[in-house]
């Protein structure tokens, strides 16, 4: 167990270092003088020189990389070339919005996905399974931004049930906050639900065919307890796996969803930065995403090995 | 690792122990038989047939777009904006500039399929060699795994954002970003197939026979891994099509004057309340094509490997 975790820790650390190198080199791959790109509007020689000094654009590459890592570790990701606000501050404002959206979407995905997955496994070969499969396939094929447009068109603009766009902080008005996030969470959650559904179904089918289930059934355990207990346990593993595997999809999805619903989150920050060629912000966004992905996946593996003892054993063996 | 008893068709148990490189042992004998069986299974799957039919129609429509489209996709008609679908001359209606939606969808489909194919080619070109190497050479496995982890750490939209920042937004860069994001999946599939095949008797026999690594990989491993690769490529295309739509919708992909299903939706956003079909029709086109690919991909997977099917 410890050997497995140590190895995963080492692998994650290595990947993290490689990711910082990619981001670092990405900025140097910008066409033209990076100092010019980082300066944005202010192009007078003095501010250019200040930027060169701050990022060390004239230093040897290795030293530049060292400065970049040291600055990043101290939470200094530079300043927006448009607003002059530190990138870290922008992230602190944007990330909570996106995290809330992500958590709500996951909740939607789990409720729909696990429910439909269990139904499909238990009712194998009956219309209910067919319907659940069809819905999952549809969920995989409908672009979430299009679903968003349609929901806005009919539920927000047409029926007036939900606000079409905008955001209210939770601390200001919790109910209005949730009201604004219902549609975005549905849009982002349904695509994930399809993935959760497929995983849940296959792990349920596997569990239902296992010997211990037959034994439990032979001992007279009712179907409710049988499915409830084992479905729950299996779904836990599935959900943890999904969080790790789908994190990238969740981030990408959040960018699109925030754009459609006008949420002031991480995605909006990212897109604004690209269209305004705000390179320090782009660099910060990419760095934070990659680091978050690597760290979350390490934590997922950690949780996974705690939930499922087989992983620990298999991990220790190799 | 799974061993030979789980794989029915390719088990040439007796390999004549001839010496030398020229002694090419027979390829898994049942190849044509197997192909016929796969086709039969595919034909018997109604959903797969439906998916394939839609795909065939979509591909033909996209290729023949210049012939089939009633108007040039960029032709503006200020006298006929927001024509309802079914209007004479405008089967699927027109948008805010009076452009024919049907023509734009046909050309948009062309762009979608182009991105899909390009992205798959990127994923194949990088993923297959790396997957083979990772599965075959133990020493390379760890290095390639780190490379895979690294690529996974950059979600496709973030990758697209970075590429758009460095190289500008275009169809090619969208395809590149999507293709790169599909490399890890391809590597994983090819790697696990290679590991499985490497454990089989006929591959071991060939190695014992003195065959070089490249020979074994090219002659035995790759051909037998092909079905898994084809399935993976088939499921990659709809992901790429959705990806292109998303990127173009956000302005990171195909740029506005050129028709793309994503840009059509992005433009329709402002007028959706007034002319819902401008948002509904291109979206349905994406759904139908993606669904068809997914149906066909599932059917293909079931047909090629009934045991590994989803049930």
- Measured between beta carbons, the chain B residues lying within 8 angstroms of A14 are 146
Note whether A137 contacts B155, CB cutoff 8 Å. no
Lowest mean pLDDT among A55-64, B45-54, B109-118, B155-164: A55-64
Residues A242 and A196 sit within 8 Å (Cβ to Cβ): yes
Q: Residue B94 in 3-state DSSP?
A: strand
Query: CB distance from A32 to chain B under 8 Å?
Result: no
Of all residues in chain A, the percent with pLDDT exceeding 90 is: 0
- Measured between beta carbons, the chain A residues lying within 8 angstroms of B153 are 15, 19, 289-291, 293-294
- Measured between beta carbons, the chain B residues lying within 8 angstroms of A275 are 251
Relative orientation angle of helices A174-208 and A127-141, to the nearest 10 degrees: 130
Model pLDDT, residue A312: 58
Q: How far A304 CA sits from the closest chain B CA (Å)? A: 18
Which chain B residue has the Cα nearest residue A10?
A: B146
In sequence order, what are the residues at sequence separation of 6 or more whose Cβ sits closer than 8 angstroms to the Cβ of residue A304? A237, A240, A241, A244, A311
Average pLDDT, chain A: 80
Model pLDDT, residue B48: 83
- Measured between beta carbons, the chain A residues lying within 8 angstroms of B294 are 137, 140-141
Question: Hey, which of A75-89, A123-137, B117-131 has the most confident mean pLDDT?
Answer: B117-131
Of all residues in chain B, the percent with pLDDT exceeding 90 is: 10
pTM for this structure? 0.81
Q: What is the mean pLDDT of residues A116-145?
A: 81
Per-residue model confidence as pLDDT tens digits over A188-220: 888 888 888 888 887 777 777 777 777 777 887
Q: Is the pLDDT of residue A92 over 70?
A: yes
Q: Is the pLDDT of residue A283 over 90?
A: no
Query: CB distance from A88 to chain B under 8 Å?
Result: no
Lowest mean pLDDT among A309-318, B14-23, B151-160, B291-300: B14-23
Q: Is the pLDDT of residue A96 over 70?
A: yes
Q: What is the mean pLDDT of residues B203-225?
A: 85
Model pLDDT, residue B132: 92
Q: How far B205 CA sits from the closest chain A CA (Å)? A: 26
Query: CB distance from B67 to chain A under 8 Å?
Result: no
Per-residue model confidence as pLDDT tens digits over B264-286: 888 888 777 778 888 888 889 99
pLDDT-derived band at B127 (thresholds 50, 70, 90) equals very high
| Helices and strands, counts by H and E, chain A | 13, 0
Of B154, B273, B290, nearest to A141 by CB-CB distance is B290
**Does the ipTM exceed 0.85?**
no
Average pLDDT, chain B: 80
Q: Is the dihedral of CA A91, A94, A98, A103 positive or negative?
A: positive
DSSP H stretches of helix in chain B: 31-44, 46-63, 65-68, 101-136, 138-152, 156-167, 171-198, 201-208, 213-215, 222-250, 261-268, 277-304
Query: CB distance from A155 to chain B under 8 Å?
Result: no
Task: Measure the CA–CA gap between B288 and A141, rounded to whole angstroms.
Answer: 8
Scanning A159-218 for CB atoms below 8 A from B yields 198, 201-202, 205
Q: b/e per residue, A263-295, with b = 16+ CB within 10 A? A: bbbbbbbbbbbbeeebbbbbbbbbbbbbbbbbe
Instruction: Give the domain ranges of chain A.
Output: 94-275
Task: Measure the CA–CA gap between B272 and A156, rounded to whole angstroms.
Answer: 12
Half-sphere exposure of B66 (CA within 13 A, CB side): 1
Model pLDDT, residue B124: 94
Model pLDDT, residue B307: 55
Angle at B28 between CA B25 and CA B29, to 5 degrees: 100
Task: Measure the CA–CA gap between B296 and B187, rounded to whole angstroms.
Answer: 22
Per-residue model confidence as pLDDT tens digits over A224-281: 777 777 656 666 676 677 767 777 788 888 888 988 888 888 888 888 888 887 888 8
Task: Measure the CA–CA gap between A108 and A104, rounded to whole angstroms.
Answer: 6
Q: How far A141 CA sits from the closest chain B CA (Å)? A: 5
Of A146, A252, A273, nearest to B283 by CB-CB distance is A146
Query: CB distance from B35 to chain A under 8 Å?
Result: no
Per-residue model confidence as pLDDT tens digits over A18-47: 888 888 888 777 766 767 777 766 677 777
pLDDT-derived band at A143 (thresholds 50, 70, 90) equals confident
Query: CB distance from A246 to chain B under 8 Å?
Result: no
Model pLDDT, residue A238: 66
Per-residue model confidence as pLDDT tens digits over B98-107: 788 888 888 8
In sequence order, what are the residues at sequence separation of 6 or more whose Cβ sits closer than 8 angstroms to the Cβ of residue A221? none
Task: Measure the CA–CA gap between A70 and B176, rounded to whole angstroms.
Answer: 32
Give the other-Cβ count within 10 Å of B57's Cβ.
13
Model pLDDT, residue B17: 41
pLDDT-derived band at A316 (thresholds 50, 70, 90) equals very low
Query: CB distance from B57 to chain A under 8 Å?
Result: no
Q: How far B265 CA sits from the closest chain A CA (Å)? A: 8
Q: What is the mean pLDDT of residues B200-206?
A: 85
**Rounded to whole angstroms, what are the CA distances from B305 to A201, A282, B9?**
19, 44, 11
CATH number of A94-275: 1.10.3720.10
- Measured between beta carbons, the chain B residues lying within 8 angstroms of A30 are 165-166
**Rounded to whole angstroms, what are the CA distances from B105 to A285, B92, B246?**
34, 9, 16
């Amino acid at each position: 167990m410890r050997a497995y975790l140590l190895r995963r820790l080492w692998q994650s650390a290595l990947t993290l270092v490689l990711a910082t190198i990619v981001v670092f080199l990405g900025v140097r791959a910008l066409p033209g003088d990076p100092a010019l790109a980082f300066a944005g509007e202010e192009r007078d020689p003095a501010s250019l020189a200040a930027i060169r000094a701050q990022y060390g654009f004239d230093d040897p590459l290795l030293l530049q990389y060292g400065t970049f890592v040291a600055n990043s570790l101290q939470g200094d990701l530079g300043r927006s070339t448009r607003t002059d606000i530190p990138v870290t501050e922008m992230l602190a404002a944007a990330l909570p919005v996106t995290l809330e959206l992500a958590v709500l979407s996951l909740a939607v995905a789990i409720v729909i996905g696990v429910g439909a997955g269990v139904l499909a496994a238990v009712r194998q070969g009956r219309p209910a399974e067919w319907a659940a499969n069809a819905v999952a396939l549809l969920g995989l094929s409908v672009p979430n931004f299009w679903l968003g447009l349609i929901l806005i068109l009919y539920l927000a603009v047409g029926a007036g049930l939900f606000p079409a766009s905008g955001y209210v902080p939770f601390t200001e008005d919790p109910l209005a906050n949730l009201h604004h996030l219902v549609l975005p969470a549905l849009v982002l959650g349904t695509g994930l639900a399809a993935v959760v559904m497929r995983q849940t179904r296959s792990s349920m089918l596997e569990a239902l065919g296992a010997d211990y289930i037959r034994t439990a059934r032979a001992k007279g355990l009712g179907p409710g307890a049988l499915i409830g207990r084992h479905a729950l346990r299996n779904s836990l593993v599935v959900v943890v796996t999904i969080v790790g595997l789908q994190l990238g999809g969740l981030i990408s999805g959040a960018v699109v969803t925030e754009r459609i619903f006008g949420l002031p989150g991480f995605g909006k920050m990212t897109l604004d930065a690209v269209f305004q060629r705000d390179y320090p912000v782009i660099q910060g966004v990419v760095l934070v995403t990659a680091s978050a992905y690597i760290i979350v996946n390490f934590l997922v593996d950690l949780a996974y090995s705690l939930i499922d003892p087989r992983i620990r054993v298999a991990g220790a063996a190799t | 690792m799974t061993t030979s008893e789980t794989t029915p068709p390719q088990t040439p148990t007796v390999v004549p122990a001839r010496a030398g490189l020229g002694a090419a042992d027979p390829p898994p004998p049942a190849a044509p038989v197997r192909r016929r069986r796969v086709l039969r299974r595919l034909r018997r799957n109604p959903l797969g047939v439906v998916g394939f039919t839609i795909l065939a129609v979509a591909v033909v429509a996209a290729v023949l777009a210049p012939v089939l489209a009633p108007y040039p996709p960029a032709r503006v008609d200020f006298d006929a904006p927001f024509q309802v679908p079914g209007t004479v001359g405008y089967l699927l209606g027109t948008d805010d500039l009076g452009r024919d939606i049907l023509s734009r969808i046909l050309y948009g489909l062309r762009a979608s399929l182009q991105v899909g194919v390009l992205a798959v080619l990127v994923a194949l070109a990088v993923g297959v060699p790396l997957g083979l190497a990772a599965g075959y050479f133990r020493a390379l496995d760890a290095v390639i795994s780190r490379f895979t982890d690294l690529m996974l750490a950059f979600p496709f939209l973030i990758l697209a954002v970075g590429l758009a920042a460095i190289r500008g937004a275009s169809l090619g860069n969208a395809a590149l970003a999507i293709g790169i994001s599909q490399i890890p999946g391809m590597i994983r599939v090819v790697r696990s197939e290679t590991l499985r095949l490497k454990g089989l008797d006929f591959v071991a026999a060939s190695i014992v026979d003195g065959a070089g690594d490249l020979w074994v990989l090219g002659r035995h491993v790759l051909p037998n891994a092909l079905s898994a690769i084809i399935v993976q490529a088939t499921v990659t295309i709809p992901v790429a099509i959705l990806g292109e739509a998303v990127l173009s919708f956000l302005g990171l992909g195909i740029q506005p004057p050129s028709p793309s299903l994503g840009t059509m939706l992005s433009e329709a956003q402002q007028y959706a309340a007034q002319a819902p079909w401008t948002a509904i029709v291109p979206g349905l086109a994406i759904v139908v094509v993606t669904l068809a690919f997914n149906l066909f991909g599932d059917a293909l997977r079931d047909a090629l490997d009934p045991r590994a099917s989803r049930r």
